């Protein structure tokens, strides 16, 4: 049996599902992103990561709870804050969701169903198991390279390494410590998962690339910064 | 003439480094060591040439330059790691502040 609109198992208590959206200067898109999920999920928290625009106010007007960093710390730090806030408010399942509108809200249901079917602690969205719209070839190759590197360094048999749409159960979220404030947090998360006893599975999700998401996304140069952050953090624990 | 101010400056750095040993063991060890080595080379410049000959480096001045480069890189790495540690503290503070403020606002 499924909830009528969102294709989530009826056993799932939607009030215990929290959506965590990190946002930095996303006033152009944040309200639309929140409205796409908030009409069927009551708990949406936006972490306004020291934005200099109206991201926080727009998010509040759209119905999200807003946690504001007084300074810009980075997406990893914002996710860490949002996850901690959700845990303090009793979340049983936490879904991380990008602010730029590249994710489809229906895919939250896909993650929840996959968790229900497999009993996994962590469900990672994979665009390569699902589909993409307008993904540039360069981005495809960059992501393939990142996935290959992740397989090599973690041993996790994944198809997508840097997807912002993921689900963490309370058990997993309580153990998670994100130390990488900026974009290297996605690789750090996978490193940590590989060394944990948590069950990790992937689920097919869909990503829509637009001019807006591409302008906000990572380029090839960013991947060098990510590698530097990861390697230098290994020298200093 | 320049030997005396140089020795005084190096002695000051040796003392300062030693005083920092509880805050930063790496600085507490490395700074006095490098400073005392510097004092020795100011007083006995030919030691640098002798060490350079032993290591197969042409001139004593080159050896000092190489050692200085290595010491500078180590110092930079130390500063980098300290900045990372500071950044982690700032993140924790900003996070707790943000959550506290949000919870108060939503109560």
Task: Give the confidence band of A81 by pLDDT, cuts at 50, 70, 90.
Answer: very high
pLDDT in tens, A173-220: 999 988 889 888 999 999 999 999 999 999 999 999 998 888 877 666
Q: At what angle do helices A185-195 and A220-235 cross, to 10 degrees?
A: 50
Q: At what angle do helices B3-19 and B25-43 cross, to 10 degrees?
A: 160
pLDDT in tens, A89-108: 999 999 999 999 999 999 99
Position A89 scores a pLDDT of 96
Task: Give the confidence band of B51 by pLDDT, cuts at 50, 70, 90.
Answer: very high
A122 and A167 in contact (C-beta within 8 Å)? yes
Cβ distance of A85 and B80 shorter than 8 Å = no
Long-range contacts of A219-224, Cβ-Cβ distance < 8 Å, separation of 24 or more = A220/A138, A220/A142, A222/A183, A223/A142, A223/A145, A223/A146
Which residues of chain B lie closer than 8 angstroms to A232, CB-CB?
Answer: 80, 84
Is CATH 1.10.150.20 the right assignment for the domain spanning A15-235? no
For A114, the token pair is: 């996959």
Cβ distance of A77 and B102 shorter than 8 Å = no
End-to-end CA distance of chain B: 72
Task: Give the confidence band of A1 by pLDDT, cuts at 50, 70, 90.
Answer: very low
Burial (CB count <10 Å: 0-12, 13-18, 19+), residue B5 = exposed
Position A5 scores a pLDDT of 56
Residues in a beta bridge with A22: A47
Q: Count of A–B CB contacts within 8 Å? A: 48
Which residues of chain B lie closer than 8 angstroms to A49, CB-CB?
Answer: none
Segment A115-122 mean pLDDT: 97
- Domain boundaries defined on chain A: 15-235
* Residue A48 φ/ψ, nearest 5 degrees: -80, 105
The minimum CA-CA distance between B49 and chain A, rounded to whole Å, is 35
d(CA A43, CA A16): 8
Mean pLDDT estimate for chain B: 91
Task: Give the confidence band of A3 by pLDDT, cuts at 50, 70, 90.
Answer: very low
Which residues of chain A lie closer than 8 angstroms to B91, CB-CB?
Answer: 73, 77, 80, 181
Position A230 scores a pLDDT of 73
Cβ distance of B91 and A73 shorter than 8 Å = yes
pTM of the model: 0.84
The minimum CA-CA distance between B102 and chain A, rounded to whole Å, is 5
Residues in a beta bridge with B13: none
Cβ distance of B98 and A47 shorter than 8 Å = yes
Segment A46-67 mean pLDDT: 97
Task: Give the strand order in the sheet containing A65-69.
Answer: A65-69, A43-49, A17-23, A93-96, A166-169, A122-133, A200-208
């Amino acid at each position: 049996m499924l909830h009528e609109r969102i294709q989530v198992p009826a056993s799932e208590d939607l009030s215990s599902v929290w959506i965590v959206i990190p946002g930095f200067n996303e006033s152009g898109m944040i309200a639309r992103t929140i409205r796409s999920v908030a009409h069927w999920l009551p708990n949406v928290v936006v972490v306004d990561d020291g934005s200099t625009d109206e991201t926080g106010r727009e998010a509040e007007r759209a119905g999200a709870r807003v946690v504001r960093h007084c300074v810009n710390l980075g997406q990893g730090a914002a996710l860490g804050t949002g996850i901690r806030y959700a845990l303090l408010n009793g979340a049983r399942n936490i879904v991380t969701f990008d602010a730029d509108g590249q994710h489809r809200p229906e895919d939250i249901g896909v993650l929840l169903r996959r968790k229900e079917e497999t009993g996994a602690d962590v469900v990672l969205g994979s665009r390569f198991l699902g589909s993409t719209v307008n993904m540039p070839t360069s981005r495809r190759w960059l992501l393939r390279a990142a996935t290959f590197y992740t397989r090599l360094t973690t041993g996790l048999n994944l198809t997508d390494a840097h997807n912002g749409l993921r689900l963490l159960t309370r058990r997993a979220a309580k153990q998670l410590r994100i130390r990488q404030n900026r974009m290297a947090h996605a690789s750090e998360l996978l490193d940590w998962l590989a060394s944990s006893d948590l069950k990790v599975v992937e689920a097919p999700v869909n990503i829509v690339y637009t001019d807006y998401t591409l302008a906000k996304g990572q380029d090839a140069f960013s991947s060098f910064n990510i590698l530097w952050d990861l390697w230098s953090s290994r020298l200093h624990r | 003439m320049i030997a005396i101010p140089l020795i005084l400056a190096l002695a000051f750095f040796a003392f300062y480094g030693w005083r920092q040993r509880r805050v930063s063991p790496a600085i507490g060890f490395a700074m006095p060591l490098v400073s005392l080595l510097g004092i020795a080379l100011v007083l006995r410049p030919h030691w640098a040439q002798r060490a350079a000959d032993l290591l197969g480096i042409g001139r004593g001045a080159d050896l000092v330059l190489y050692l200085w480069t290595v010491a500078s890189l180590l110092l930079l790495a130390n500063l980098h790691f300290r900045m990372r540690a500071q950044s982690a503290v700032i993140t924790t503070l900003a996070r707790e502040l943000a959550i506290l403020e949000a919870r108060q606002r939503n109560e």
